Amino acid sequence: MEVNVKLYGKLRELAPNLDSRTSTVGVMKLDLEAPGQVSDILKKLDLENDEISHIFVNGTYSSVTRKLTKNDKVAIFPADMGLLYSWYFEEEE
């Protein structure tokens, strides 16, 4: 099952073939076993939960336990890019 992943901030350097001087977002496709979760992406990228501030799946604020389907769009922000109004978002599991 393939998902699309956008990595922001310092996480963008994990994307293959990225010129970090010109790109603000790292974009990559990851192949996961179905059914998958956001936590599977973090494992593949060797990231810990405390390195992440926010995760969005198809534009919805999500947790690491969010289930994924084929071609989902996942955006991951690093801890140092925490949003000022994080209380505004409600996680969808």
CA pair distance 13, 1, nearest whole angstrom: 23
Residue reference for tokens 């995760």:
55
What digits encode the pLDDT tens for the residues 2-37? 999 999 888 888 877 665 555 677 788 889 988 899
CA pair distance 26, 19, nearest whole angstrom: 9
What digits encode the pLDDT tens for the residues 57-80? 999 989 999 999 999 999 999 988
- Specify the CATH number of the domain 2-88: 3.10.20.30
Contacts of 33 (CB under 8 A, 6+ apart): 1, 40
